[in-house]
Amino acid sequence: MALHILDEANRCLECKNPSCVKGCPINTPIPQVIKLLKGNNLDEAGKLLFYNNPLTTICSLICNHEKQCEGHCVLAKKGNPVHFSAIESYISNAYAPKMTNGPAVSNGMKVAIVGSGPAGLTISIILARYGYQVTIFESKDKIGGILRYGIPEFRLPKRVLEDLQYRHIELKGIKIRPNIRIGDAIGIEDLFRDGYKAIFIGTGVWRANALHIRGETLGNVHFAINYLTNPDVYKLGDKLTIIGAGNAAMDVARTAIRKGSAEVTCFSITPKVAASEYEYKYAKLEGVKFEYNLKPVEILEEGVTFRKVTEDENGSFVEVEGSDTFYPSTSVIIAISQGPRNVIVSSTTGLDVNTRGLLRADEHGNTSREGIFASGDVVSGARSVVEAVAHSKIVAESMHKYMQSLPR
């Protein structure tokens, strides 16, 4: 494998103004990393990757590379970009076992991280580097958030998360309190009472969005975010209808096929899928079928009735009357994104939210209440992992600056 990676690295043109870096939301220094690799400085390349992106092993596997680094590569114009995703994966996994340093020298200040998804993990790791005593409060039994409970094993092996937890969390002295939801037995006020100088909220978006159509409460209907959390507990039968065609729908479809569903069809209201081209092609390759320009109007025990839609000159959907068609299925999964839960907001004074229930925060992560910061999906809505990491790096520095300004 190493030989092939070097061959791929040698294809890099070493552009003076690398568009691959501009295409990466976190501005990974791709040319420098490749140059170090080609110079037999793998460890230095690994250090550079992890310093820039604490979740580099993860992003190398799940990023939408064809629209980011690889899609912006000059060679992509000829249809064969440098596959930096493979290079990044090789370097980060080869270097990770060498990351055995213990905690940084403590600066005596405590910080609370609520939620251990991409944003919370990034904030935790960066602040631990500065010597803060970090405690993660996670509502589930294991850390990772959407990384663990929303991305299938075949796309992101759990061993990658376990290695990250060991090297970046446990070895660095970061404490974890699993199975505790802030806003229930313990609230934000309790954290401030116990001496936490700043609090970060990165609870993600775990409330499934509903269609609000007849039949949505039937026993054969499920939501994508719930299914992906633990697919083994669901009995979907042979014929699955998925309402939605984004990346989550692709994950559901490919998982369901692996779990035994013989016929899986994704229904899109638009003339094309919302998922990345990469995920769409893999889903088609694995046998997923697609139907377009169809809107669900009623769910029954035996399937779903869809109505044809067209787009007018303003881009609005127009229903075609008299076009209702029934599509039989044994189960239905609704995959139309998610929204935030409001337990923290409803139990905490002074936290503003927008009309979608998302926390209001500025570009530096400051919420409407001093000392409380937020980033990730709970602020922006469902976005990519690397976007969450990129913004969380900015928020971590903002938190550091804030805490250093507090009286000692």
Percent of the chain scored above 70 by pLDDT?
Answer: 99
pLDDT at residue 2 greater than cutoff 70: no
Segment 351-385, tens digit of pLDDT: 888 888 888 999 999 999 999 999 988 898 878 89
Task: Tell me the C-alpha distance between 337 and 252, whole Å.
Answer: 12
Under a CB-based contact definition with an 8 Å cutoff, are residues 51 and 61 in contact? Answer: no
Task: Name the packing angle between helices 2-10 and 84-95 (round to 10°).
Answer: 130
Top-tier CATH class for 210-336: alpha beta
Residue 3 has pLDDT above 80, yes or no: no
Say how far residue 3 (Cα) sits from the centre of its chain: 31
Task: Give residue-wise pLDDT tens across range 270-323.
Answer: 999 999 998 999 999 999 999 999 999 999 999 999 999 998 888 788 999 999
Q: What is the CA radius of gyration of the chain?
A: 23
Domain ranges of the chain: 2-98, 110-206+340-404, 210-336
Average pLDDT on 175-199 reads 95
Q: What is the pLDDT of residue 326?
A: 98
pLDDT score of 5 more than 90:
yes
Angle at 220 between CA 218 and CA 221, to 5 degrees: 70
pLDDT for res 40: 95
**Separation CA 168–CA 164 (nearest Å):** 6
CATH architecture under which domain 110-206+340-404 falls:
3-Layer(bba) Sandwich (3.50)
Helical (H) or strand (E) element with 298: strand 294-300
pLDDT digits (tens, 9 = 90+) for 77-135: 888 999 999 999 999 999 999 999 999 999 999 999 999 999 999 999 999 999 999 99
CA dist., res. 221 & res. 109, Å (int): 47
The pLDDT tens digits of the residues spanning 234-247 come to: 999 999 999 999 99
Say whether pLDDT at 45 is over 70.
yes
Return the residue matching tokens 């939301």.
Answer: 25
Q: How far apart are CA 146 and CA 377, in angstroms?
A: 10
- What amino acid is encoded at 343 in this protein? V
Tell me the residue type at 299.
I
* Pick among 1.10.1060.10, 1.10.3720.10, 3.40.50.11890, 3.40.190.10: CATH of 2-98: 1.10.1060.10
Is 98 in a helix, a strand, or coil?
helix
- 110-206+340-404 and 210-336 share one fold: yes
